[in-house]
Amino acid sequence: MEKTATFIGHGECWGVDKEKVRAAAEELIQKGVETFLSGGMGGFDWLGARVVYELKEKYPHIKNILVIPYLTFNVRNKDLFDEILYPDGFEKYHFKAAIPKRNRFLVDNSKYAICYVTHGWGGAAQTYEYAKKHGLNIVDIRC
C-alpha cells in the first residue's frame, strides 16, 4: 500500500493535460510508487492507465493494475495492464453496488491518488471525499 497510487476522476475529462498526469505519476514514481491502480470506468481512468503504460518504458519496474468491480466488466485495451484484479468477495455485490465498493477498494489499497474532480456529485466526487477522509496523499490535476 505504501508504494501504491490510484486514479480518481470523472468519466468526462475533456481538456485534461496528459503531461500534467504524466508529471504527477512520474513524481510519485520518484517517491517510491511502484503500483498504479485504475478502475477503468471513465476517461480519466483510461488516461491514467495509458500514461502508466507509457511510463513503463522508462520505469519497467512499475505495475499497471486494473481493478474490476464485477466479472462481466467489459475490459477495453487489456494490453495496457500487467494484471486485472477482481477483489475477493465482490461476487456478493449487485453490479451497481460493486462500483462504489471497488472505488473504496482502490482508496483502501493506496497511499496516493492522482485526481481530476471538478464538481461535487457522482462517483468520482464521492471517491475523492473518501480518499481525503482516509488520508491519501492527493495530487490534484486541473485544466
Range of the domain at 94: 4-140
SS3 79: helix
Report yes or no: 64 and 80 within 8 Å, Cβ to Cβ. Answer: yes
- What is the predicted pLDDT for the residue at 143? 47
- What is the pLDDT, as a whole number, of residue 31? 96
**Domain total for the chain?**
1
Of 80, 102, 71, the closest CA to residue 6 belongs to 102
User: Residue 131 — φ and ψ, nearest 5°?
Assistant: -65, -40
**Residue 100 · residue 130 · CB < 8 Å:** no
- Model pLDDT, residue 66: 97
pTM for this predicted structure? 0.94
CATH of residue 112's domain is 3.40.50.450
Outline where the chain has alpha helix (H).
18-30, 43-55, 95-108, 123-133
Cα–Cα distance between 115 and 113 in angstroms, integer?
6
pLDDT at 96: 85
User: Would you give per-residue pLDDT tens digits along the chain (143 residues)?
Assistant: 789 999 999 878 777 889 999 999 999 999 999 999 999 988 899 999 999 999 999 999 999 999 999 999 988 889 999 999 999 999 898 888 999 999 999 999 999 999 999 888 888 999 999 999 999 999 998 74
